[in-house]
Amino acid sequence: MAIAGASAQSQTYVLDKGWEFSQAGSNEWMSARVPGTVHQDLLDHGRLPDPFYGMNELKVQWVEKEDWLYRTVFTVTADQLKSDAAWLTFEGLDTYADVYLNGSLLLKADNMFVGHKLAVKDVLREGENRLMIRFRSPVEETAPQWDTDGFNYPADNDHSEKRMSVYTRKAPYSYGWDWGIRLATSGIWRPVKLTFCNGAAIDDFFVRQQEVTEQVAKVDNQLEINNVISTPKEAQVKVVYAYGEQADTLTRTVVLQPGKNSLSMPAWIEKPHLWMPNGWGDPVLYTFTATVSVDGKEVASREEAIGLRSIRVVMEDDKDGKSFYFEVNGKPMFAKGSNYIPGDALLPNMTGERYARLFEDIRAANMNMVRVWGGGIYEDDRFYEEADRNGILVWQDFIFACTTYPHDPTFLKRVSEEAVYNMRRLRNHASLAMWCGNNEIYEGMRYWGWKDKYSPVVWKEMTEGYDVLFRQLLPELVAANDPGRFYMHGSPYEANWGRPESWKIADSHNWGTWYGQKPFESLDTEIPRFMSEYGFQAFPEMKTIRMFASPEDYELESPVMNAHQKASIGNFLIKKTMALYYKVPEKFEDLIYAGLILQGQGMRHGIEAHRRHRPYCMGSLPWQLNDSWPVVSWSSIDYYGNWKAMHYQIRRAFAPVLVD
């Protein structure tokens, strides 16, 4: 691809054109999408059947075992090469990827959740430049680890005989889940960019909120400025913060030393317009713009949308046990929300429109919170931008779920890199309310019988690993990189749904109405301090079933329907609970319909109970909000965006005022 002419300013080009891909060893090249995945590219070329249809999941499993090559050619002009610096940025490579540029090995990537900014000025050539990335199979790569460990980790959502998901820093759900297709992808899943820079670059702009009240917002504008010339240079640094007609400016003259310069520019904003959660007022966003000028000419700028607010998670011993609630702008907030899983099994298929629609659906259901659950991904920037704009607090898990993990030095290094990278990427978002170490690992270790499955030596390693990862490494990294943001080691913090005494402590996942086979009325009395998961399944509506099945499959236990029901006793549990309330219909379509109504009624029952017990109970997050492919699940919105009856019931039950 050709790249437009150079200028004295820094310029960034998205490298999304001219890409080709090939199965390693085949030397057959076909056009490719970037960002994308091998699965999407094979689908585009008719080399894979639609994995979401029928039982095609089985037919596409070979893809994960192969290595794949991606390449493109781009041109660079002599002028561009005269820039002071040039960087190639990969915002996400999935996962084991060797990156070559013009014969030079630039990078060996090994973590899907980390972006890379690589200095390439010395490698670029005038004219054509050849970029190639070799993706190694995530399962072949980790097979030696599995072989030498000699046991399966407890990761039983990993739909494979040899559970290798734990070794790779890659979205856990892509190896299968109890609502998830297994599509262990490879590819350039986030954008690639080429930047030419003159003078200086703003590497980071963190608007750290130190104190925010109705009277004043005290913020520290923390800048990292990279002087890319080899001599010290005087520069003017300016921060403008504006809302509507109001604008204030801070300026500073500094001498930038070659390389990285850190700068702190504190500001007090009197009587700030506060960012408010949905239902409380407007989610006001200020525009903070930082610029760097050298010799009177602007060389770098960066803009951030900043919502000024305070968020505190109050987790304190009290007369009843241990509280758990969010205090926003000084007032306790009853959290109304849901649990979010990745929006697509093929992640680059998520568009800006789909993120926008998702948040419309969240806001329309009177929610003020969404939990990004730990079996998925650290979400796209657009996800948090929508959350900021819609007044939705984000409970963010680190990406670990439902199994113990290794904690060897290589693994810990990868985790550190991803934690730092994602905290620095996300810490400006007003919506980011907390970090949580993982989903249900502590619970699993104590109550899911894991201890008995392993030798004492291995079990000791696993329990030590938990402390190292979730009680040492991650909290230290949060304190250093996102100071002031709440961290807790895992969710649930302590409670277990089978042990009533424990419900008095912080957040709970109550699976009594599903695995426990209890009626929905049990939610009236099993009241936690904060319900961060509880759920009940329903099939998606017939319109969605028709997208993946034909009329001959319309039977509860047909092979195709079972391929889209990943919870082993799911159909039994649906019918068992249905029999408590309704006459269970014989006809497939009627059963689907009744099941949707049942799920909606049941979940509404739970929300109402939680709200009734406020302030003892301060939050209700049903499992789960959405689907990543067309499937039977606990979701309230199906893969195609159709609201199940449950989402309508949630909207009613979360209305600002509820008559009970």
**Residues labelled as active-site residues:** 440
Query: Does the footprint of ligand NHV cover residue 450 (CB under 6 A)?
Result: no
| Position among 67, 91, 178, 494 found at the interface with ligand NHV (CB under 6 A) | 178
DSSP strand pairing (335-340 vs 619-620): parallel
Task: Considering the complex, state which of residue 177 and residue 466 has its C-beta at the smaller distance from ligand NHV.
Answer: 177
The span of 158-166, 193-201, 508-516, 578-586 binding ligand NHV (CB under 6 A) equals 508-516
In this structure, what are the phi and psi dihedrals at residue 121, rounded to the nearest 5 degrees?
-55, -40
Tokens matching residue 56: 């095609």
Smallest distance, ligand NHV to C-beta of residue 157, A:
7
Nearer to ligand NHV, 188 or 402 (CB): 402
* The one segment of 31-39, 177-185, 217-225, 355-363 that binds ligand NHV by CB under 6 A: 177-185
**Distance from CA of residue 637 to its chain's centroid?**
18
Residue 518 interacting with ligand NHV (CB under 6 A): no
Of positions 167, 493, 536, 623, contacts ligand NHV by CB under 6 A:
623
* Nearest alpha carbon to residue 606 among 499, 534, 657: 534
Query: Which one of 421, 511, 581, 648 is in contact with ligand NHV (CB under 6 A)?
Result: 511
Which pairing describes strands 30-31 and 20-23: parallel, antiparallel, or unpaired?
A: antiparallel
The verdict on 399 binding ligand NHV (CB under 6 A) reads no
Q: Which residues lie closer than 8 Å to 377 by C-beta, 6 or more apart?
A: 112, 113, 171, 342, 347, 399
Of 533, 553, 627, 638, which lies in the binding site for ligand NHV, with binding defined by CB under 6 A? 533
Q: How far is the CB of 448 from ligand NHV (least distance, A)?
A: 5
CA dist list (Å): 88 to 26, 99, 449: 28, 11, 47
Q: Which of 188, 402, 419, 594 binds ligand NHV (CB under 6 A)?
A: 402
Interface region with ligand NHV, contact rule CB under 6 A, candidates 116-124, 257-265, 509-517, 518-526: 509-517
Q: Where are the beta strands (DSSP E) in 565-638?
A: 619-620
Answer for which of 448, 593, 616, 648 binds ligand NHV (CB under 6 A) is 448
Rounded Cα distance, 157 and 176, in Å: 6
CB-based contact 159:58 (threshold 8 Å): no
Q: Does 509 bind ligand NHV (CB under 6 A)?
A: yes
Binding mask 366-385 for ligand NHV (x = CB under 6 A): ---------x----------
Q: Which residues contact 128 (CB under 8 A, 6 or more apart)?
A: 73, 74, 75
Smallest separation (angstroms) from ligand NHV to the CB of 630: 16
Instruction: Write down the least CB distance from residue 339 to ligand NHV, Å.
Output: 7
Return contacts of 203-206, CB within 8 angstroms, 24+ apart. 203/260, 204/424, 205/288, 205/290, 205/302, 205/304, 205/428, 206/424, 206/427, 206/428
Q: Is 541 in the site for ligand NHV (CB under 6 A)?
A: no
**Count of residues binding ligand NHV (CB under 6 A)?**
14
d(CA 106, CA 118): 8
Q: Which stretch binds ligand NHV (CB under 6 A): 32-40, 76-84, 171-179, 542-550?
A: 171-179
Task: Give me the half-sphere count of Cα atoms (radius 13 Å) on the Cβ side of residue 226.
Answer: 15
Q: How far is the CB of 623 from ligand NHV (least distance, A)?
A: 6
Two tokens, residue 659: 């008559």
- The alpha carbon of 75 is separated from its chain's Cα centroid by a whole number of angstroms, namely 34
Cβ atoms 400, 473 nearer than 8 A: no
| 280 counts as binding ligand NHV under rule CB under 6 A | no
Q: Rank residues 200 and 377 by Cβ distance to ligand NHV and give the closer one.
A: 377
In this complex, which beta carbon is closest to ligand NHV, that of residue 194 or of residue 621?
621
Minimum distance from residue 647 beta carbon to ligand NHV (Å) = 18
β partners of residue 255: 234
Residues that bind ligand NHV (CB under 6 A): 177-179, 375, 402, 439-440, 448, 509, 511, 515, 533, 623, 634
